[in-house]
């Protein structure tokens, strides 16, 4: 079975990994490599505090957070390094700190089905200094020990290397034939489309209209002199996140810009604003050296909901997009599902809850 995957981000690389584990599948991954959201992402796995009313989205995000444990176990069994993921906890801050109790009650109500939330506690500023030295600008915050951080680029590199799939770095088009599909003058039996915000461009020549648009995201990376590997992620209210990694690296971001199209230009003004806000909570960041900036393009839909499943009117083409800023949480589980759909294996979530035909129409 010849399977092509267009897009080597978090969905495509996970699908490639799980397809390659099964005998009888020859996997080719096509990736243009420009603007990919995952490569520019430093993500937080902590969906349990979301108040989104979309229950299907929450189940996807909740199970997506849990799925990391399975993914890491699978990779480790084969001797792969999994340093892209660290579960060091998360600290949530609110300008109105009375709202923290509401979030704590919500998380406690969800812990039965999501034990990965771990320990939950409201911590005073002096208590926080033991887990994140130098964090300030609050009287109380909500801590959850199960929160995790993910380095997107390292995750996809690990998955693709572990898959052993053939990787072709170029921009390609899709041609739908009578009984197969052609990409880059090669024929395939099945295709997985995981190209994020570029899905409309790919499917338009095939007669499809796609409700997906680009969202620009920017962040900055810093280097501190001390070890930060055990620091939890910090999530103040708004767009700002402070994400410590190993060996003193700290990422600050990320912006959510819906009107910039596919622009990958670094906007220093916006990043300076975010940096100033980060200094309020973590003044020691002023001592850090700047490593650089990252810019990527997320995909989102008109109602900010993701979708995945079979392309309408086509048996053998599977698609996902619209993951937005929750892509590092939901992407691996979606990739696993697309791989299992291509292999005609049992699924864990119902595709009807993430309907492709709500966002893709043949015209």
The C-alpha atoms of residue 165 and residue 159 are separated, in whole angstroms, by 10
Which residues lie closer than 8 Å to 41 by C-beta, 6 or more apart? Answer: 150, 152, 153, 217, 254, 294, 296, 327, 328
**C-alpha span between 191 and 213 (Å, rounded):** 22
Residue 37 has what pLDDT? 80
**What pLDDT, on the 0 to 100 scale, is given for residue 248?**
94
Specify which residues 251 forms β-bridges with: 221, 243
Pairing of strands 190-193, 2-6: parallel
Phi-psi region of 247 (alpha: psi -120 to 50; beta: other; left: phi over 0): left
Whether the model clears a pTM of 0.85, i.e. scores above it, the answer is: yes
Q: Residue 244: what pLDDT?
A: 96
What is the per-residue pLDDT for 53?
Answer: 84
How far apart (Å, rounded) are the C-alpha atoms in residues 185 and 158?
Answer: 28
Task: Show the low-confidence residues of the chain (pLDDT under 70).
Answer: none
DSSP-assigned letter for residue 312: T
Query: What's the pLDDT at 34?
Result: 86
């Amino acid at each position: 079975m010849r399977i092509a995957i267009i897009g080597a981000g978090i969905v495509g690389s996970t699908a490639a990994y799980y397809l390659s584990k099964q005998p009888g599948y020859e996997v080719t991954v096509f990736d243009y490599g420009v603007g990919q959201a995952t490569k520019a992402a430093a993500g937080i796995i902590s969906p349990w505090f979301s108040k989104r009313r979309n229950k299907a989205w929450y189940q996807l995000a909740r199970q997506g957070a849990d799925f990391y444990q399975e993914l890491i176990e699978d990779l480790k069994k084969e001797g792969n390094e999994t340093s892209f993921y660290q579960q060091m906890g998360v600290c949530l801050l609110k300008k109105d700190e009375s709202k923290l109790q509401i979030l704590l009650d919500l998380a406690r109500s969800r812990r039965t089905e999501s034990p990965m939330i771990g320990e939950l506690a409201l911590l005073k500023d002096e208590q926080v200094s033991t887990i994140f030295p130098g964090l300030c600008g609050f009287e109380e915050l909500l801590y959850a020990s199960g929160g995790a951080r993910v380095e997107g680029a390292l995750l996809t590199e690990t998955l693709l290397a572990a898959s052993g799939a053939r990787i072709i770095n170029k921009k390609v088009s899709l041609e739908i034939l009578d009984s197969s599909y052609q990409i880059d003058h090669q024929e395939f039996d099945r295709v997985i489309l995981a190209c994020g915000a570029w899905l409309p461009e790919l499917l338009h020549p095939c007669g499809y209209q796609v409700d997906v648009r680009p969202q620009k995201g920017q962040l900055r990376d810093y280097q501190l002199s001390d070890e930060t590997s055990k620091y939890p992620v910090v999530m103040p209210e708004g767009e700002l996140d402070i994400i410590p990694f190993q060996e003193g690296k700290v990422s600050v971001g990320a912006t959510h810009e819906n009107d910039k199209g596919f622009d990958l230009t670094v906007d220093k003004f916006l990043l300076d604003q975010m940096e100033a806000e980060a200094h309020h909570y973590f003044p020691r960041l002023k001592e850090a050296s700047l490593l650089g900036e990252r810019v990527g393009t997320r995909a989102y839909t008109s109602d900010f909901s993701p979708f995945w499943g079979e392309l309408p009117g086509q048996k053998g083409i599977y698609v996902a997009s619209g993951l937005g800023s929750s892509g590092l949480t939901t992407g691996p589980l979606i990739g696993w599902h697309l791989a299992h759909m291509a292999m005609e294996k049992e699924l864990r979530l119902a595709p009807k809850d993430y309907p492709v035909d709500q966002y893709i129409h043949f015209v």
